[in-house]
Chain A
Amino acid sequence: MRIGFYICHCGTNIAGTIDAAAVRDFAAELPGVAVSRDYKYMCSDPGQEMIVQDIRDNKLDRLVVAACSPSLHEETFRKAAAKGGMNSFFFQMVNIREHNAWVHEDKAAATQKAKDQVRAAITRVRFHKALEKKSVPVNANVLVVGGGIAGIHAALTLANAGKTVTLVERDSTIGGHMALFDKTFPTLDCAACILTPKMSAVKNHPNITLWTYSEVSKVEGYVGNYKVTVKRKTRYIKEDLCVGCLDCIEACVFKEPKFRDDFNQGLSKRKPVYMSFPQATPKLVTIDPETCIQLKTGKCRKSCAEACDRKAIDFELKDEMKELEVGAIILATGFSAFDPKRHAYYGYGRYPNVYSALEVERLVNASGPTNGEVVLRDGKHPKAIGIIHCVGSRDEHTNKWCSRVCCMYSLKLAHLLKEHTGAEIYDFYIDMRTPGKTYEEFYDRLLQEGVHFIRGRVAEVNDWAMTPEEEGKLVIRVEDTLAGFVRRIPVDMVVLSQGLEARKDAGDVRRLFNIGCGTEGFFQERHPKLAPVSTFADGIFIAGACQGPKDIPDTVAQAGAAAAEALALVDAGHVELEPNTSHVVEEECCGCKSCVPLCPYSAISFDEAKKKASINEVLCKGCGVCAAACPSGSIRQNLFEDEELFGEIEGVLS
């Protein structure tokens, strides 16, 4: 055996902590090592070329590189091995950067650890076998989950590239949070004017199938070959007949709207049969089974159904399960706004004139519940308004992170509220965070518009008047950290700039798609810098606020990136899979069947005639559970064979 060993300095990232020359000399003495070198950057072209040359000149048949995490450069060195003419699986990588140099300070101990790690790899690599990557065909269709601006943009990009896309949205309409807004920062362009054309484009695109009021309920398969089950909830409307004339809503036995209108954040009421907003896409009404008398009791005049001259209403309709085969999936399920009730000191839910920012988005909206007139819950028009930043952000007690968009949308709301009411606006911020193209300029503009900015985290909102001016007002108590004293500001209306958080069901969605979440609950990207829209599940990408708080420009950019990644995958037509599957060595199998029920993918079958187990390598995903369980040791997992792992154990300990 002729092993080539290389240790990378990674500039000073590794060599600053680990004595690379000492490790190089140590490795040179290990049995079978023919070449042992150190180099500044092994991943650079000259570094790789050195490996290629050595393989050729020194007839190397095994390769070990001690450098960074295999998740970064395993592929790089496998390719170098192949270029030199060696099977790329005769290679083993040693992670001495993330797992060593970056986490230890004691240089002697770190160097000793590096030696142990290297000896493990050199012991293990002897047992490596020549393997080939499996190439499997990729289904060219793509599934997009979530129809906010992220999902809409991703779906359109893919469809425009000629791909067949299915967009699954849980709500009765696409649009997401953006559909709630009147204006968007920093340009103050009308949200509907830029969003609704894209919504219609989705609906009308020949390559897009739009399934609203639907949810993914099962995901099977693997990269390039996912089988997805979608539950299409019924709206009790025959979708092909309804033209969205709204006659049924007019005719409903409830003469007045009586139930909470979710789209308007509860600021208005709706009937059991409703359409969220005039531009809802698809333009279909929905009947809410929770409030519809017919659906709850079966005893209603059904005046809505009578009123529909196209006979589109059918109370007998049932939910449907649909199956779908796709090669890639983009998750764009967005965020939830922080529930300000959780911040008890700000009086939300206690004082009627304390509003959440989303409510105010609807209040200032020309097509909102008040047609854009800012009237308070008590019918008054506010003369003084306080906007409180960071509600449920940058806070030890709720969410620690900065929600990134609240400073900017608070400025937007300050502008809009001033424009709509002429009131004095007080804006309470901890730090004003306006990074972004033309964002700081927007802040400047607001300063000039005469908004009062007060720096400090608000302590409390209450209605205890201490002076006649405070009578009948809400009092905001805050330490003004610029002026250096505590202030009491009486106002008529308080706006709470709620932070962005992961959806309550993000955990379930993540499990369904087998991806990860960070500790804050947002979906985890594969690498924070280099793979921001990929996940640990190959073929599943993420875009928009489901990955973390972000504004619309960033969301759209990320959605484009996710679409491009999905496109690159499905356009290639095939994908290479890691050959780390398991197989049964038939002669050794004792026929005990221990392995059969263990496989989560039912890849193991048992031949009753031969009394032997066998593994379907197409179904096997390479977890190795069966290999660990087989009492006769007859199951081998490629790349993780017993000898290889025992070799590593011996290597780290000798």
Chain B
Amino acid sequence: MSEKRRFEPKIVAFFCNWCTYTAADLAGVSRIKYAPNARVIRVMCSGRVDPQFILDAFAKGADGVLLGGCHPGDCHYAEGNYKTLRRMRLLERMLKGMGIEDGRFRLEWISGAEGDKVKVVINDMVEKVRALGPLDLPGRAKGWDKELEALAHGVRKSEDKKEPTHA
């Protein structure tokens, strides 16, 4: 039997420059090995991350999105991460509404000294998202489009039918 290839989730990671990005640098310098699925995008502060970035990443095919910032109280800009936290709690509700499972979006505080935590978080996230399977939001969106079209079509038909009575 041909073995089915293991699903490799695509994860987009937004890391703040001062803590989490530095932690990932430290993991590198310490040669800590972890799963190659995450693609890091650097921002100065986790507070720069607009929920739209996360939605866009899902829409463009990410199976998971990780947002990493400094621990509460440690943000290089005093309080950016508190704003992130508030914003992301709202986003999480919205993601749920869209049918995006828990665990596909994750917010983690990783300090510049926690190189090992980068490994732990990324490995854990890759495992969990792998278990969830591909998200395929673009595919689902196409599905939704079709549904919408069918719906629109149905409405038009019924309206067509109704027409004579109105006449």
Contact = CB atoms under 8 A, between A and B. Distances in A.
Interface of A: 69-71, 95, 97-100, 102-106, 109-110, 112-113, 116-117, 120, 511, 514, 516-519, 524, 528, 536-537, 580, 598, 600-601, 621-625, 627-629, 637, 640, 642, 645-646, 648-650, 652-654
Task: Pick the 9 closest A-B CB pairs, nearest first.
Answer: A98-B28, A624-B48, A625-B47, A623-B77, A652-B39, A623-B45, A102-B28, A109-B36, A628-B50
26 contacts: A95-B40, A99-B24, A103-B28, A103-B32, A103-B33, A104-B36, A105-B33, A106-B36, A117-B40, A120-B41, A516-B18, A516-B19, A518-B113, A519-B114, A536-B76, A600-B77, A600-B79, A621-B77, A623-B45, A624-B47, A625-B77, A629-B50, A640-B43, A652-B41, A653-B12, A653-B61
A653 B22 contact: no
A262 B32 CA distance: 45
Interface of B is mostly: loop
A625 B83 contact: yes
Interface string B48-83: 111001001100111000000000011011111001
A514 B76 contact: yes
B9 to A, nearest CB: 12
A649 B41 contact: yes
Given A536-B112, A624-B45, A649-B12, A97 B60 contact: no
B112 to A, nearest CB: 5
A636 to B, nearest CB: 12
A293 to B, nearest CB: 40
Contacts of A637: 44, 48
B68 to A, nearest CB: 12
A516 B78 contact: no
A452 to B, nearest CB: 40
Contact of A649 (B33, B56, B74): B56
Given A98-B24, A622-B44, 16 more contacts: A102-B29, A103-B33, A109-B8, A519-B114, A524-B113, A536-B76, A600-B80, A601-B77, A623-B44, A625-B77, A628-B49, A637-B48, A649-B57, A652-B10, A652-B12, A653-B61
Nearest to B50: A628
A113 B35 CA distance: 11
Given A97-B28, A103-B28, A649-B53, A516 B112 contact: yes
Interface of B: 8, 10, 12, 18-19, 22, 24-25, 27-29, 31-34, 36, 39-45, 47-50, 53, 56-57, 60-62, 73-74, 76-80, 83, 87, 111-114, 119
Contacts of B62: 653
A69 B25 contact: yes
Contacts of A645: 41, 43, 53
A487 B83 CA distance: 60
B28, B41, B79, B80 pick with most chain A CB within 10 angstroms: B28
B33 A517 contact: no
B5 to A, nearest CB: 12
Contacts of B27: 98, 103
Contacts of B80: 600, 623, 625
B98 to A, nearest CB: 17
A549 B14 CA distance: 35
A654 B79 CA distance: 34
Nearest to B15: A99
Contacts of B42: 70
A113 B39 contact: yes
A270 B50 CA distance: 60
Nearest to B41: A648
Nearest to A124: B41
A70 B10 CA distance: 24
A649 B61 CA distance: 10
Contacts of A105: 33
Contact of A629 (B19, B22, B83): B83
B44 to A, nearest CB: 5
A511 B61 contact: no
A528 B22 CA distance: 12
A56 to B, nearest CB: 29
Nearest to B113: A518
A102 B74 contact: no
Contacts of A120: 39, 41
Contacts of B45: 623-625
B47 A103 contact: no
A383 to B, nearest CB: 47
